[in-house]
Amino acid sequence: MIGDSPRAALQSTRARPPWGAEELEVLWEDEVTLADGGRIYVRVVRPSDRPTFEEGWTHLSAETRLFRFLAPRDHLSPGDLDYLTDLDGVDHYAIGAVTRDADGHEGPVAVARFVRMRDHPHEADFAVTVVDEYQRRGVGSVMLERLVVAALKRGITTLRADLLVENEAAKHLIRKVVPRAQSRLQGALVCFEIPLEAEEDPDREEPDREETA
The helix (run of H) or strand (run of E) holding residue 145 is helix 139-153
Biggest CA pair distance of the chain: 67
3-state class (DSSP) for residue 39? strand
Closest CB to ligand COA among residues 26, 128: 128
Query: Are 52 and 1 in contact, with CB atoms under 8 Å apart?
Result: yes
How far apart are CB 10 and ligand COA at their closest, in Å? 27
Q: Are strands 92-100 and 39-44 parallel, antiparallel or unpaired?
A: antiparallel
* Residue nearer to ligand COA on the CB measure, 94 or 139: 139
Residue 115 in 3-state DSSP? Answer: strand
Beta-bridge mates of residue 82: none
Nearer to ligand COA, 26 or 174 (CB): 174
Closer to ligand COA by Cβ: residue 9 or 60: 60
Radius of gyration over every alpha carbon of the chain, rounded to an integer in angstroms: 17
Name the minimum Å distance from CB 2 to ligand COA. 9
Cα gap 168→172, rounded to integer Å? 6
Least CB distance from residue 191 to ligand COA, whole Å?
12
Least distance from C-beta 28 to ligand COA, angstroms?
21
Shortest Cβ distance from residue 12 to ligand COA (Å)? 25
Residues at the interface with ligand COA (CB under 6 A): 64, 67-68, 127-130, 135-141, 161, 163, 167-170, 172-173, 176
Closest CB to ligand COA among 10 and 81?
81
Classified as helix, coil or strand, 181 is coil
Nearest residue by C-beta to ligand COA?
Answer: 140
